[in-house]
Amino acid sequence: MIVGKLVFAQLMDHLPIKAFRRCVKKYRGNHKVKNFTCLDQFYCMAFAQITFRSSLRDIETCLRAMHSKLYHMGIRGKVSRNTLANANEKRDWRIYADFAQVLINIARQLYRDTKLAVDIDETIYALDSTTIDLCLSLFPWANFRKRKGAIKLHTLLELHGSIPSFLVITSGKIHDVKILDELIPEAGSFYIMDRGYLDFGRLFKFEIQKATFVIRAKANFQFRRIYSHPVDKATGLKCDQTIILTGYYQSKKYPDKLRRVRYVDSKSNNDLTIVTNNFSLPALVIAQLYKCRWQVELFFKWIKQHLKIKSFLGTSENAVKTQIWIAIATYTLIAIVKKKLKIDVSLYTFLQILSVTVFEKVPILQLVTDSDYKSPNKHLDNQLDLFN
C-alpha cells in the first residue's frame, strides 16, 4: 500500500496540467490513442532525464520493476519500449516545445529578482549556440559536413536565473547569424552576443526596436573614430570611442553611430573589442556585461553533463527534438520547484538527490534539509478517526 506521495509525483504536481492539455489538443497528440497518452510519454521521458536512463530498454526495465508504483507516479498506460519509441517517433515534437515555453514563462517570473554581477534593472539576454555531434548514417537528416552529422541548439538565455527564453534546434549547417532573423527584440532589453552574430544589417533591427546589443567585434571591421572618451586604464579599459562604419555595405546597413570599447581582462589576459549601441552606461559596465555572456556557455556545459541530450533514444528528427524539448522542460521544472520551495542547494545537487529518491515517499523539502520535516495534519475535524 502506498501512503503519501512519491517524490516523482510531488515534482510533477508543479506542472500546469491544463496548459499541457491545451498543447496536446492543439497538435492532436492523443488522436486515436487509447492507452499510452502524451502525458504518459512526458512522464516516462522526464523520469529518464531525472534518473539518467541510457536507453528505451533501460526505461522499460526500471519502470516495470516498479509497476506497483506507476499509477502513483501518474503513469496510467502500460510502459513498453516499442510503445515509447513509437510515441517519440510519431507524436508532434511541438507539443513539448510549446509546453516548455509555458514552463519557461513561469520560471522567468520566479527568477525575475535574481541579482547579477552587473547591477542593471533591465532584462539581460545572452545569445549563443552549441553543436551536438551525430552519426550521419543514423541521423541522415542532420546535415553538417560530408561525413559528419550534427544539430545546433540556438539559445537565448535570460541571465536572471539562467532560464532559456528562446530556443531553436537546427541542422549543423545553419549559421548562427541567421537566428537573428527569428528574434523579436524587446525594447529596453540587453542582448549579449559573440562575434559570430556580427551582421550590422541585422543588428540595426535592435536599434529600431530600442533594444541594446553588446557584441564582440571582428578584427577586420572598418570604422572611423569620431570621438574618444576618457577611461581609467587601471580598470583594464583601453579606449571608449564613438565611431561610424566606413565599409561600403556596412555603412549602408547601419548608418547610425556606434560605441567601441576595448578592454583587457586581467585574469585571462583576453583583449576584447566590444561594439554596442548603448551610450549611457559606463564603459566598464559594458565590458562587464559582455563577460556575463559566459553564463550561456556554463548553461550548455551543465545541460550536456546532467541532461540526456548528447545520446538519443530515437533517430528521427521528431524523436530527437522531442527528447531535447522534454529535457529543457525537465530542467525548467526542477528550477521552478527549487525556487518555489526555497531550496538552498545548487541545481546540480538538487537533481542528484532527485535521481536516487524518485520512488521514495518523503517530502521533497525533507530530502534537502537536515531538519525534520513534518507534514501538516490534514485530517478534517468532522472525519471519524478509526485508529485513534
What confidence tens digit (pLDDT) does each residue in 52-108 have? 998 999 999 999 999 889 899 989 888 899 999 999 999 999 999 999 999 999 998
On the question of pLDDT at 172 being above 50, the answer is yes
Pair 85, 24 in one domain: yes
Say whether both 286 and 324 belong to one domain. Answer: no
Alpha carbon distance 164, 327 (integer Å) = 12
**Does any domain span residue 127?**
no
User: How much is the pLDDT for 111?
Assistant: 86
Same domain for 200 and 288: yes
Average pLDDT for residues 317-333, to the nearest whole number?
94
Per-residue pLDDT at 228? 93
Write the single-letter amino acid at 316.
S
pLDDT of residue 163: 84
Question: Containing H/E element for 124?
Answer: strand 124-134
> Does residue 15 register a pLDDT over 70?
yes
The answer to whether residues 233 and 281 belong to one domain is yes
DSSP-derived secondary structure letter, 181? G
Same domain, 258 and 327: no
Flag whether pLDDT at 362 surpasses 70. Answer: yes
Highest mean pLDDT among 141-150, 257-266, 294-303: 257-266
- Long-range contact pairs involving 163-166 (C-beta distance under 8 Å, separation at least 24): 163/104, 163/107, 163/108, 163/111, 163/332, 163/335, 164/104, 164/299, 164/328, 164/332, 165/104, 165/108, 165/125
Number of domains in the chain: 2
Residue 203: closest CA among 222, 188, 181, 187: 181
Which residue blocks in the chain are alpha helix, DSSP H? 7-12, 17-26, 38-51, 56-65, 70-73, 81-90, 94-110, 200-208, 248-253, 283-291, 294-306, 317-340, 347-355, 364-367
Indicate whether 284 and 202 sit together in one domain.
Answer: yes
Tell me the β-bridge partners of 242. 227, 259
Residue 209: pLDDT band with limits 50, 70, 90: very high
| Mean per-residue pLDDT, 325-333 | 93
Does 272 lie in the same domain as 320? no
Q: What is the pLDDT of residue 112?
A: 81
Residue 49 lies in a domain: yes
- Looking up cell 552549441 gives 130
Residue 152, in any domain of the structure: no
Model confidence at 261: pLDDT above 90: yes
CA distance 370 to 321: 39
- Cα→Cα distances 309→34, 47, 75, 294, 323, Å: 29, 14, 23, 21, 7
> Is 357 contained in some domain?
yes
- Residues 274, 337 share a domain: no
In a domain, 110, yes or no: no
pLDDT of 195 over the 80 cut: yes
Domain that holds residue 12: 7-95+314-367
Contacts of 316 (CB under 8 A, 6+ apart): 88, 89, 141
Q: Binning pLDDT at 50, 70 and 90, where does residue 385 land?
A: very low
Both 271 and 331 in one domain: the answer is no
In a shared domain, residues 339 and 269: no
Tell me, what's the pLDDT at 97? 95
Q: What is the pTM of this model?
A: 0.85
Does 61 fall in a domain?
yes
Please, what is the average pLDDT of the chain? 88
Determine what percent of the chain is predicted with pLDDT higher than 70: 94
Q: Which long-range contacts (CB under 8 A, 24 or more apart) does 77-83 make?
A: 77/35, 77/36, 77/37, 77/40, 78/35, 78/36, 79/36, 79/40, 79/44, 81/56, 81/57, 83/35, 83/36
Whether 16 is in a domain gets the answer yes
Question: Residue 3's pLDDT band (boundaries 50, 70, 90)?
Answer: low
Residue type, 238: K
Could you tell me if 301 and 310 are in contact, meaning their C-beta atoms sit under 8 angstroms apart? no
Q: What is the model's pLDDT at position 387?
A: 31
End residue of a domain, out of 259, 292, 325? 292
Q: Are residues 320 and 246 in the same domain?
A: no
Closest CA to 141 of 168, 171, 113: 171
The pLDDT score that the predictor gives to residue 371 is: 44
| Gap between the Cα atoms of 240 and 237, Å rounded | 8
How many whole angstroms separate alpha carbon 369 and alpha carbon 86? 41
**pLDDT digits 0-9 by tens, 102-138:** 999 999 888 887 777 677 878 899 999 999 998 888 8
Give residue 89's pLDDT: 94
Least confident of 24-33, 126-135, 176-185, 365-374: 365-374
Query: Is 246 within a domain?
Result: yes
